[in-house]
Amino acid sequence: MTDAARSALTVSEAFSALGNERFQADGATFVRNREIPDIWDANHVAHITAATPDEIDGLLARGDATP
């Protein structure tokens, strides 16, 4: 990936998270907005680092438990 593409993706992610809660948990960055749960840009998981089966299971469990 080029530096320009990496920068564009970083800006896009930051734009998607504007005005929403953002936190790190279980090997990923969670972005959420409880007021608009059906809007993907305001409610998604990014920058996933979970790699082992146990880490992935933990991440999926966290996603299911996060309102």
Q: What is the pLDDT of residues 35-66, one digit of tens each?
A: 999 998 889 898 899 999 999 999 999 988 86
Going by C-alpha positions, the residue among 53, 66, 8 that lies closest to residue 45 is 66
| pLDDT at residue 49, rounded to an integer | 93
With 70 as the cut, is the pLDDT of residue 28 above it? yes
Encoded tokens for 9: 């993706």
d(CA 15, CA 64): 24
pLDDT value of position 3 = 92
Tokens of 20: 């929403």
pLDDT higher than 70, residue 67: no
Note the pLDDT of residue 19.
Answer: 87
